[in-house]
């Protein structure tokens, strides 16, 4: 856990909470549900704030919804992160089923690879450095697994159920990124850099954000 001194966290008004947070075991369980739920809501909201990227085709969606999930992975462990990832995608599926669930499935797989592996590593390296290492490993796992899954599974699914043939996807990507000429270069010059970028920026933002809020996560500085 990244320890932050109370006085330097700078959100004084948020610190005025009731002092009962950590007396009971049961409280921690209820808190877990409540905090997990709010993080799910946040992840879903952030998924809507899509940020367009240069050199990347429009269908590669970049958003910050993994930030709350990564924080859940650090605070509660990888399983909670996976649960939140699942709930986020279920909610997205119910709100706008615009890719027949394929996009949600891909997002879920990517999130599990990223937050799951980062949470797992952090479990054994609970320090500031450990957090950095775990996020780096998460990024690497993300940029290895998702391009492979895209290559073997999701491109196939899109072609079958949405009629987005892989050639069309390559063509769209080629329009913004001239290195992409076939399926393999699509993976190497679009999917891998995209996921590397996503992993690194999400890690960077999580790292910036974690320090001021870490005190709030467990309530009154007690470890849950």
Interface residues toward another protein, by CB under 8 A: 11, 14, 17-18, 20-21, 24, 26-27, 29-42, 44-46, 48-51, 64, 67-68, 71, 83-84, 86-87, 90-91, 93-98, 100-101, 161-165, 167-168, 171, 201, 204-205, 208-209, 212-213, 216-217, 219
Shortest distance (Å) from residue 42 CB to another protein:
5
Alpha helices, H only, 77-188: 78-95, 102-111, 117-124, 128-149, 155-161, 166-176, 183-186
Nearer to another protein, 97 or 178 (CB): 97
Nearest CB to another protein, comparing residues 105 and 145 = 105
Between CA 79 and CA 209 the distance in angstroms is: 22
Based on CB atoms, which residue is closest to another protein, 148 or 168?
168
E-state strands within 112-158: none
DSSP classification of residue 11: -
Query: C-beta of 172: minimal distance to another protein in Å?
Result: 8
Report the candidate in 75, 67, 65 with the shortest Cα–Cα distance to residue 36: 75
């Amino acid at each position: 856990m990244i320890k932050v001194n109370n006085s330097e966290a700078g959100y004084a008004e948020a610190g005025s909470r009731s002092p009962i947070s950590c007396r009971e075991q049961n409280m921690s369980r209820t808190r877990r549900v409540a905090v997990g739920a709010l993080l799910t809501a946040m992840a879903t909201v952030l998924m809507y704030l899509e940020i367009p990227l240069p050199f990347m085709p429009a269908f590669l969606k970049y958003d910050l919804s993994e930030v709350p999930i990564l924080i859940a992975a650090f605070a509660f462990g990888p399983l909670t992160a996976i649960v939140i990832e699942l709930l986020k995608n279920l909610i997205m599926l119910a709100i706008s089923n615009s890719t027949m669930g394929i996009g949600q499935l891909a997002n879920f797989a990517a999130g599990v690879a990223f937050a799951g592996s980062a949470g797992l590593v952090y479990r054994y390296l609970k320090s500031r450095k450990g957090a950095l290492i775990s996020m780096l490993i998460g990024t690497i796992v993300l940029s290895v697994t998702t391009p492979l899954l895209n290559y073997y599974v999701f491109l196939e699914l899109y072609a079958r159920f949405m009629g987005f043939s892989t050639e069309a996807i390559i063509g769209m990507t080629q329009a913004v990124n001239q290195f992409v000429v076939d399926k393999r270069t699509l993976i190497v010059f679009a999917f891998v850099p995209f996921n590397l970028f996503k992993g690194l920026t999400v890690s960077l933002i999580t790292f910036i954000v974690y320090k001021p809020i870490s005190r709030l996560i467990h309530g009154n500085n007690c470890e849950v």
